[in-house]
Amino acid sequence: MEPRDPHEAHRAATPLELLFDLCFVVAVAQAASGLHHGLAEGHAAHALIGYGLVFFAIWWAWMNFTWFASAYATEDAPYRLMVLVQIAGALIVAAGIPRAFEHVDFGVVTFGYAVLRVGLVANWLRAARSDPPRRRTALRYAIGLTVCQIGWLLLLTLPRERWILGWLVLAPAEVLVPIWAERSHPTTWHPHHITERYGLFVLIVLGESVLAATVAIQKAMDAGEGLAPLAGCFVGGLLIFFSLWWIYFDRPAHRFLTSNRESFVWGYGHFLIFASAAAIGAGLGVSVDFFTGHAHLPGWAAGLSVGVPVAVFVLCVYRLVVRPLERGPLVTAAFAGATILILLAAGSTWAVLLIGLILAALVTVQLALTSESP
**Tell me, what's the pLDDT at 137?**
95
The set of residues, in sequence order, having a beta carbon less than 8 Å from that of 168 and lying 6+ positions away, is none
65 exposed, middle or buried (CB, 10 Å; 0-12, 13-18, 19+)? buried
Question: Amino acid identity of 92?
Answer: I
Mean pLDDT, contiguous 10-residue spans, the chain (374 residues): 76 88 87 87 86 91 92 86 93 89 85 94 94 93 96 89 86 94 88 89 84 68 63 84 91 69 87 94 85 78 90 94 78 93 89 93 88 51
The distance of Cα 214 from the centroid of its chain, to the nearest Å, equals 20
pLDDT, mean over the chain: 86
**With b meaning 16 or more CB within 10 Å and e meaning fewer, what string describes 332-352?**
eebbeebbebbbebbeeebbb
What would the pLDDT profile of 313-328 be if each residue is shown by its tens digit? 999 999 998 887 766 7
Domains of the chain and any CATH numbers: 15-182 (no CATH), 191-370 (1.20.1410)
Residues 254, 199: Cα–Cα separation, whole Å: 11
Q: Phi and psi (nearest 5°) for 9?
A: -75, 145
Query: In the prediction, which pLDDT does 255 show?
Result: 67
